[in-house]
Amino acid sequence: MKITRKDFLRISGLGLLAVAGRKAVRAVAERTSERASEQTSAPFAKQVRWGMAIDLQKCRQKDGCDRCIKACHSTHNVPQFSDRAHEVKWIWKEPFKNVFPAAQTGYTREFFGNLPVLLVCNHCDDPPCQDVCPVKATWKREDGVVTIDFHRCIGCRYCMAACPYGARSFNWLDPRPAIATVNLDFPTRTKGVVEKCNFCEERLAKGLGPACAESCEEKAIVFGDLEKPDSEVRRLLRSRFAVQRQPELGTGPAVYYIV
């Protein structure tokens, strides 16, 4: 068959048109299907986003109370080392002036400065600890929990340098001898890996709330789904003034403090 120049032009022109047409059709189709899925699946497919609100006033009610700390540390086999350098902790208290150095005036410091603030990992929206880990041993799950694979961590401690909240601890020595009674439902760690609060992911999987929130008699720790407008934590955050730790860093902490 002989193809003339005119034929050739016609065929290639048609081809081009066909390609352009198909692209346009596909774009329209995509947009409609997107809209359709938005409408139909919205109420069901909404992601869970776990978060926490800590009522500082309620938390100070009982002087020196450390029920939540004990509950967490015994549930998760957190070793207790006496020297500060090698300390491992998932939840602990720190003076207000160290936690919110900018959120005070010279006049309030006297009263507020030394009041204890409960600290845990913030399970950030955009966690720097996840980005720096060279082996993907720490990552944010779909539900917002930032977790660690103790069997993959190489112990480089880059995540400790990257976390702007000091939430992470390293096992400088074998933790097992420093655990009073081992909870067999949760793994113990080896020396040389990093660990931190895991929002009780193992309990969430069973439909339970975090151990710290459960143990608190004052109900100072409220845990729940930040995506659900009528969850208890959302209701609380709507009605009371709450702050996050250093929100200006853009990490998006999911732990709120009601002050």
Binding residues for other proteins (CB under 8 A): 84-88, 94, 97-99, 101, 128, 130-137, 152-158, 160-166, 169-174, 190-194, 246, 249-251
Q: How far is the CB of 182 from other proteins (least distance, A)?
A: 19
DSSP structure class, residue 48: P
Instruction: Give the CA distances from residue 4 to residues 7, 9, 14, 17, 196, in Å, rounded to whole numbers and listed in that order.
Output: 5, 9, 15, 20, 74
Query: Do the Cβ atoms of 239 and 222 come closer than 8 Å?
Result: no
Residue with tokens 């980005």: 131
Nearer to other proteins, 50 or 165 (CB): 165
Of 223, 240, 241, nearest to 232 by C-alpha is: 223
Q: How far is the CB of 70 from other proteins (least distance, A)?
A: 20
The Cα 11–Cα 2 span in angstroms is 13
Name the binder of 191 from ligand SF4, other proteins, none, CB < 5-8 A by kind.
other proteins
Name the binder of 127 from ligand SF4, other proteins, none, CB < 5-8 A by kind.
ligand SF4
Please give the distance of CA 251 from its chain centroid, rounded to a whole number. 10
Query: Do the Cβ atoms of 135 and 153 come closer than 8 Å?
Result: yes
Q: How far is the CB of 142 from other proteins (least distance, A)?
A: 18
Q: How far is the CB of 89 from other proteins (least distance, A)?
A: 8
Pairing of strands 50-55, 255-258: parallel
Nearer to ligand SF4, 156 or 178 (CB): 156
Residues that bind ligand SF4 in the complex, under the rule CB under 6 A: 121-124, 127-129, 132-133, 135, 137-138, 146, 148, 153-159, 163, 165, 167-168, 194, 196, 251
Nearer to ligand SF4, 115 or 156 (CB): 156
The Cα 151–Cα 164 span in angstroms is 24
Name the binder of 16 from ligand SF4, other proteins, none, CB < 5-8 A by kind.
none
